[in-house]
Amino acid sequence: MSDSTLIAGAQVFDGSGGPAGAADVLIEGNRIAAVGSSIPPSLRGDAAVIDASGATLIPGLIDGHAHLGFGSTVEYTSDRRETDEEKGLLMAHSGRVLLDSGFTGAYSGGNRLPRAEVAARSAFAQGWLPGPRLRAASWEGSAGLVEPGVYDFPGTAGRVSDPGSVARFVDEMADIGVDIVKLNLSGESAIVAGSSRIVQFTDEEVAAASAKAAERGVWLTAHAHSADAIKMAVRHGVRAIYHCTFPDEEALDLLAAARDRVFVAPTPGIIYAHLIDPAFPPADITDMQDAMASIKQVVPELKARGVRLVPGGDYGFAFNPIGKNARDLQLFVDWFGLTPVEALRSATEVGGQLMDMSGELGLIRPGYLADLLLVEGDPVEDISILQDQAMLAAIIKDGRIHKLAAGRRGRRRVLAAR
């Protein structure tokens, strides 16, 4: 049987931000072999055909702040009291739901079972479990490096700075095999009132984490709301900064200067879930309201300064479940003033850069990995359609067809796995 698939007659948005255009796309194995208005029969051979007429083909979406380990999806609500074995199964379930939602890539924002996430990364990559292309993370280190899932956010007052323990934490996580080590450099007012403004680690501790991360070849991610936490993250080479809620002018200048090495995920989805659709009101509603007002001003400023923005709104909680992830793209447009094209590029080409796979992920071009999404209609005209799974006619990850609407099958039967 041929290992080729021809997606015929699509309107192709290639992820770069350029205009969409009619084209056929040929997949050979797990990569895109050709993109063109007419791929000759000699090249396409006996490829299986997907009829894409009237639909838009885009690169698979990438979530820059994924929490597969938190366990709640649009299909299942976790009370977060499951056994570790059940949590591992929920991680696999969450990966499948995220893929069902059109996200073929995920950059983890932390979890309570890093060994399980490393295992999920391998299973998803090998294809025997359905899930996104995954960068796995540590549990979220908080002040004093208390155990996973404990978020009391005491800050640095009343404790002695301990850079050695932070370096050991990075070492231990690297030994497990994670790609990313996450530190909560600020607290979280949604959980502990007022703590978003409180720095949780000393400068010496973050410097030690940065040195050890460089030595071990892992990336650092920071949960950082306050200006001081943001500045600490940039100074010490943190690669991805989450929230970035209350920067001052100095922080904005540092982010702009570091724009070629840093990514910011402003996480509007979790704010929306707390304030606009409040199934779970935050511990400090005033600070959350301040956060919403601030981030609506901050993100356009970051965009104007050329800082790379990625979607990922803390999905995985019961009140903000995985499966709603595409809502972030709508909020990038409605709250931050990005065009739909800019929002889509943040989730495709820029997402590929975040995954450290620039040149092979996030664009529809020959030689790139075949992570693709066929959408009924045009998300450039109406980005909200990406929130409706029924509008996702085909989902392809690593050249494998995860989903294909029956009406899109072409001249011969296309198998869901090869």
What pLDDT was estimated at residue 276? 86
258 with 371, same domain? no
CA distance 252 to 354: 20
Burial of 416 (0-12, 13-18, 19+ CB in 10 A): exposed
CATH number for the domain that contains residue 193 = 3.20.20.140
- The pLDDT tens digits of the residues spanning 344-355 come to 999 999 999 999
Torsional class of 144: left (φ above 0), alpha (ψ -120 to 50), beta (otherwise): left
> Is residue 177 assigned to a domain?
yes
What pLDDT was estimated at residue 195? 85
367 with 311, same domain? no
220 with 339, same domain? yes
3 state DSSP class of 99:
helix
CA distance 414 to 418: 9
Torsional class of 380: left (φ above 0), alpha (ψ -120 to 50), beta (otherwise): alpha
What pLDDT was estimated at residue 413? 37
> Is residue 415 assigned to a domain?
no
Q: CB neighbours of 19 closer than 8 A, spacing ≥ 6?
A: none
332 with 346, same domain? yes
Polymer length in residues for the chain: 418
pTM of the model: 0.94
- Domain holding 391, by residue range, is 4-59+362-408
CATH number for the domain that contains residue 53 = 2.30.40.10
Domain stops at, among 313, 328, 354: 354
Cα distances (angstroms) measured from residue 41 to each of 1, 26, 170, 334, 393: 17, 11, 53, 44, 25
204 with 226, same domain? yes
> Is residue 418 assigned to a domain?
no
231 with 340, same domain? yes
Which segments in the chain show pLDDT lower than 50? 1, 411-418
Strand order through the sheet with 61-66: 61-66, 103-108, 133-135
CA distance 24 to 32: 11
Number of separate domains in the chain? 2
> How many angstroms from the chain centroid is the CA of residue 244?
16
What pLDDT was estimated at residue 417? 37
- The pLDDT tens digits of the residues spanning 44-90 come to 888 999 999 999 999 999 999 999 999 999 999 998 889 999 999 99
232 with 176, same domain? yes
